[in-house]
Amino acid sequence: MRCLTAALSMVSLLGSLPGSMLLAQTPQAPMAHHGLRLPDAFFAGNRAALLAKAKAMGPGTLVVAKSMPTQPSSGDGEHPYRQDSDFYYLTGVEEEHAVALLDADKGTYTLLVQARDPRRETYTGTRLGVAGAKAKGADEAVEYPAAEKTLNEALQRAKRVVFINNFDDAFRLKVLDAVYPKGTVGWKVDYEKILVDGRPIVGEMRVIKQPMEVQMIQRAVDASIEGHLAAMRGSATFTNEGQVAAALEGTVRALGARFLSYQTIAGAGGNGCVLHYPFNDQPITPGSLILMDASGEIGFYTSDITRTWPANGTFTGEQRALYDIVLKAQEAGIQELRPGRPHGASMRAAARVISDGLVDLGLIQGDKEEAFKRGDWNKFLPHGVSHYLGLDVHDAGSYGPADTFHRHAGTRALAAGMVLTMEPGIYIPKGMEGVAAKWQGIGIRIEDVILVTANEPCNLSARLPRRAEDLEALVRGGAKRLK
């Protein structure tokens, strides 16, 4: 927490934050954040920045951004609605069937929304309507079905359409037909328009986090830490992975996480070797490790934390040997998350520690330098170790051209204000060829959320223990308390 306070204070930004967002209100003890959102001024600032970019493209530029469509979950149900991150970043609007139009020539923002419908609102809650849209910052608002005409006329007038749409394929085809009508391309001058994919533009805007965003990420991290602690403290009495997952999920929900950042991974024993283990319903066998990769999101901002601990509170010799290598690799990777360092430097640093450590244990054969160059460690670490985090757990933005060292290592130089994960691991599934049985069925990953600052990397999730002995003490202490 201290490093975050220092990072924000250095650029004199703490004083500009609303009172509800100040770090002083983020204590070490649990604190609920139900319904917490960034202020409308945040989204207005993002729109203004995008409008400036659109205006620089030339006259007649129109930005069109589409909300997330609803997703059916069964014959008569839908998944809980979560707004598209790009659309939310620009509008702060949380409801479906919405379109944002930013006219670069006029500098105006028009929001197209669902019509108010008392009958439907009885089931699903109050809709924004025209008044609500204007209250959220829209200069103009139009309800459907009249909004169809507004959209079509705006597309007809535009010479250039900057299109931001991630998931609504039907809407994508509608815009394509409006910009490039069938049977007209190549002969009708009226339709010589330019279509620009606006997603990379907004993605780059999202790479450097504004202080308010860092504050919200910290809250998501804080809630997620409490969830991990609950899972660890109860694990000595748990007999199934589902209980581990439930301990975290119930805790983060109680602290204000309306959504999980991603589907919980709570793999025991060999299931910890499945990178995105989806089931969380198998028995926890005596002596096994529990790998939990799980977090909640607060105010649409995510967290991404992984811990691995012994279910009974004591690492075996093999488990501890591998765990210490992963922890050392994570520390080496974190130290590379500094301004000016390429994104891939952390991958190289973490992989080198893992490679050397596995040579020392005899799991990789030969000279350390040669083994590292051969990439033998890829067998044990099959994923990248760092990605952006923000409104999405794998957040938007470029890592630059890939480093020849590894496909998940980018060459982009890091900058203060970026938030990334650091998550090395070692995975030895049962039946791995050429590995002694005593090592098999062990999966270990350690992951934290790191803010790049002008000085030292700031571990936003450092409050959650990582050292093996601290994890053992937590599990044993929880078991004693529950007796």
Question: What tokens were used for 475?
Answer: 């599990």
The answer, yes or no, to whether residue 231 has pLDDT greater than 70, is yes
Nearest-angstrom CA–CA distance, 31 and 38: 17
Active site residues: 76, 276, 293, 304, 383, 387, 394, 423, 427, 445, 447
What does the pLDDT read at residue 30?
Answer: 73
The answer, yes or no, to whether residue 189 has pLDDT greater than 80, is no
| pLDDT tens-place string over residues 308-359 | 999 999 999 999 999 999 999 999 999 999 999 999 999 999 999 999 999 9
The answer, yes or no, to whether residue 206 has pLDDT greater than 50, is yes
Q: What is the pTM of this model?
A: 0.94
Look at 6 and 219; give whichever has higher pLDDT: 219
Nearest-angstrom CA–CA distance, 175 and 101: 13
What does the pLDDT read at residue 19?
Answer: 38
Supply φ then ψ for residue 71, to 5 degrees. -125, 115
Q: Which of 375, 1, 474 is nearest to 221 (CA)?
A: 1
| pLDDT tens-place string over residues 276-317 | 999 999 999 999 999 999 999 999 999 999 999 999 999 999
Contact 299, 219 (CB under 8 A): yes
Q: In order of start, what are the domains of the chain with their CATH numbers?
A: 40-205 (3.40.350.10), 208-482 (3.90.230.10)
Dmax (CA) for the chain in angstroms is 81
Tell me which DSSP letter residue 283 carries: B
Type of residue at 354: I
What does the pLDDT read at residue 357?
Answer: 98
Tell me which DSSP letter residue 114 carries: P
What does the pLDDT read at residue 16?
Answer: 43
What does the pLDDT read at residue 218?
Answer: 98
- pLDDT range class, residue 13, cuts 50, 70, 90: very low
Nearest-angstrom CA–CA distance, 277 and 293: 9
Q: Alpha carbon 311 to chain centroid distance? A: 27
The answer, yes or no, to whether residue 27 has pLDDT greater than 80, is no
Nearest-angstrom CA–CA distance, 465 and 232: 11
The answer, yes or no, to whether residue 21 has pLDDT greater than 90, is no
- pLDDT range class, residue 35, cuts 50, 70, 90: very high
User: Among 188-202, 314-328, 432-446, which is the least confidently predicted range?
Assistant: 188-202
Question: What tokens were used for 119?
Answer: 């009958």
Q: Which of 171, 47, 196 is nearest to 97 (CA)?
A: 171
What does the pLDDT read at residue 478?
Answer: 75
User: Among 50-54, 180-184, 248-252, 329-333, which is the least confidently predicted range?
Assistant: 180-184
- What is the bridge-based pairing of β-strands 442-445 and 72-74? unpaired
What does the pLDDT read at residue 76?
Answer: 86
Nearest-angstrom CA–CA distance, 338 and 331: 13
